């Protein structure tokens, strides 16, 4: 994995950790963020496949009506960052 891709994964993992540890975020969203973090960290799958799965899951939790505004903004930022990963990786 190139340096740029590993940096993207690291940054996304850090943001997910912030969401997971934020007590103002509902428990189901924190649990989903933890599952997303596990998918993103699974190096057995190609990075492009992991990114696609995570983007889809982020879209689902981003549309949850109970998600706080600041968390929704973080989710959108994560999706944007992951969309920069090339499909052919």
DSSP string, 8-41: HHHHHHHHHHHHHH-TTS-HHHHHHHHHHHHHHH
Structure tokens at 76: 């959108």
User: Of the candidates 16, 6, 22, 7, which has an alpha carbon nearest to the alpha carbon of residue 78?
Assistant: 16
Digit-coded pLDDT (tens) for 59-89: 999 999 999 999 999 999 999 999 998 877 5
Domains of the chain as residue ranges with CATH:
3-82 (1.20.1440.50)
Residues 39-54: pLDDT tens digits? 999 999 999 999 999 9
pTM for this model (two decimals): 0.89
Taking each helix axis as running N to C, give the angle between helix 47-62 and helix 27-41, from 0 to 180 degrees, rounded to the nearest 10: 170
Question: Given this model, what pLDDT does residue 5 score?
Answer: 87
Residue identified by tokens 């690291």 is: 10
């Amino acid at each position: 994995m190139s340096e740029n891709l590993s940096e993207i994964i690291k940054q996304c993992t850090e943001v997910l950790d912030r969401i997971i540890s934020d007590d103002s975020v509902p428990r189901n969203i924190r649990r989903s963020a933890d599952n997303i973090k596990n998918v993103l960290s699974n190096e057995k799958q190609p990075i492009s496949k992991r990114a696609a799965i995570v983007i889809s899951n982020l879209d689902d939790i981003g549309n949850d009506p109970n998600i706080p505004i600041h968390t929704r903004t973080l989710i959108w930022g994560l999706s944007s960052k992951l969309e920069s990963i090339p499909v052919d990786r």
